[in-house]
Amino acid sequence: MPARTPDVDIGALTGLIGYMLRRAQIAVFQDVFRAFAEVGIRPAQFSVLTVIAHNPGRTQSQVAAALGIKRTNFVALIDSLERRGLAERRPAPSDRRSHALHLTEAGRMTVRRLNRMVEKLEAGMIRRIGRHRRAVLLDLLARLSEP
């Protein structure tokens, strides 16, 4: 029986959007991370695969910008996906500087598999906070993301 020290008061932090956003994001990402670990994919890689799947043929710069990633750091990301045979760089038809991004067949399969995982995770969210409140949350988060 430990000598019960009263809990540390976290102060007004629980009333701050920024702090609570961070905590929630970390908690949710941990779940995603665990689920994706089975496939060996990180959240950032998943987002890239998704965007390529929806926009085949776009250049690295375009995809990177859409995700808010610097094209500098995007290089290693694509490298890893290409090395694993999930995506590939093809010569862009109109610009010899650019690389057009495409998924391989394995990449498309992986995306489908990841999407099934994501669906389950989102279903868990709905169970936790309710379908309606989840929709409200998404709406509020979208507003905070905008300028």
Tell me which residues touch DNA (CB under 7 A). Answer: 26, 42, 44, 59-61, 64, 69-75, 78-79, 89, 92, 94-99
**Residue 129 near residue 112, CB atoms below 8 Å:** no
Closest distance of CB 125 from a second copy, Å: 5
> Do residues 103 and 112 lie in contact, with contact meaning Cβ atoms separated by under 8 Å?
no
H helical segments located in 4-104: 17-37, 43-54, 60-66, 71-83
The option from DNA, a second copy, none interacting with 117 (CB < 5 to 8 A, set by class) reads: none
Cα–Cα distance, 13 to 8 (Å, whole number): 12
Which residues contribute to the site for a second copy (CB under 8 A)?
5, 7-29, 31-32, 43, 47, 50-51, 53-55, 58, 62-63, 65-68, 115, 118, 121-122, 125, 128-129, 133-134, 136-138, 140-146
